[in-house]
């Protein structure tokens, strides 16, 4: 959820970032213990609370008093699936950022699932930093209009965003798709979704721009 290194004076900033990630991980752990829609409502209220008050929030400090929650599409149970995971060939890549820098990542599998708009085949990446972690960004036909043009994120286990597994598959719930931090504050430099994960249809679930 938080897409940059700690900002501000040390050690306070790093301790705040540590706490941020802990709170995100605890939120997703709670979500995994609940039925899907109540879990989504808990996720929304938990994210809103973090974004409204936490020192590492992506909402600029001077805008937090006016912040009244992150806009989302209505919950759609058809957007929650267990995706089959298959092998993928390909070298590691450097995921481009919205600003300076890039994030090295290695494709390790493909997640395939049927959604209301069509079949999605998305590449799963293992981050080659932060001690590793699964990262799943994607783009769809809402980008540039109802959602951010650089795509949204589904999973980022290095930062606690993890919906779990089911048998040999991985749980993908597009109702939990969320924007990178740079959407809220362009001073953040966030990984963008690569071309391999561009869907040709709309995914009307998760966070939206307004």
pLDDT of residue 5: 44
In the chain, the number of structural domains is: 1
As a whole number of angstroms, the distance between CA 75 and CA 68 comes to: 19
pTM for this structure? 0.93
In a domain, 209, yes or no: no
In a domain, 4, yes or no: no
pLDDT of residue 2: 42
As a whole number of angstroms, the distance between CA 158 and CA 20 comes to: 12
Which stretches does DSSP call E strand in 34-174?
80-86, 93-96, 102-115, 118-127, 134-138, 152-156, 165-166, 169-173
Tokens of 168: 């040999």
pLDDT of residue 130: 67
In a domain, 205, yes or no: no
Domain of residue 118, residue span: 12-197
In a domain, 67, yes or no: yes
pLDDT of residue 13: 86
In a domain, 7, yes or no: no
Per-position pLDDT tens, the chain of length 210 = 344 444 446 688 889 999 999 999 999 999 999 999 999 999 999 999 999 999 999 999 999 999 999 999 999 999 999 999 999 988 999 999 999 999 999 999 999 999 999 999 999 999 998 678 999 999 999 999 999 999 999 999 999 999 999 988 999 999 999 999 999 999 999 999 999 999 999 999 999 999
In a domain, 154, yes or no: yes
**Is the distance from CB of 197 to CB of 138 less than 8 angstroms?**
yes
């Amino acid at each position: 959820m938080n897409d940059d290194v700690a900002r501000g004076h040390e050690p306070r900033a790093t301790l705040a970032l540590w706490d941020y990630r802990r709170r995100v991980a605890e939120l997703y752990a709670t979500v995994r213990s609940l039925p899907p829609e109540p879990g989504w409502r808990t996720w929304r209220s938990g994210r809103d609370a973090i974004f409204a008050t936490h020192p590492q929030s992506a909402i600029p400090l001077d805008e937090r008093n006016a912040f009244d929650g992150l806009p989302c599409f209505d919950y759609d149970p058809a957007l929650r699936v267990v995706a089959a995971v298959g092998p993928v060939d390909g070298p590691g890549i450097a995921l481009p950022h919205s600003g300076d820098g890039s994030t090295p990542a290695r494709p390790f599998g493909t997640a395939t699932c049927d959604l209301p708009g069509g079949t999605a085949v998305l590449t799963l990446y293992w981050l080659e930093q932060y001690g590793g972690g699964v990262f799943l960004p994607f783009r769809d036909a809402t980008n540039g209009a109802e959602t951010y043009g650089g795509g949204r994120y589904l999973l980022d286990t290095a930062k606690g965003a993890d919906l779990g597994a089911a048998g040999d598959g991985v749980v993908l719930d597009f109702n939990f798709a969320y924007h990178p931090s740079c959407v809220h504050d362009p001073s953040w430099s966030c990984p963008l979704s690569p071309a391999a994960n561009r869907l040709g249809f709309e995914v009307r679930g998760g966070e939206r721009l307004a």
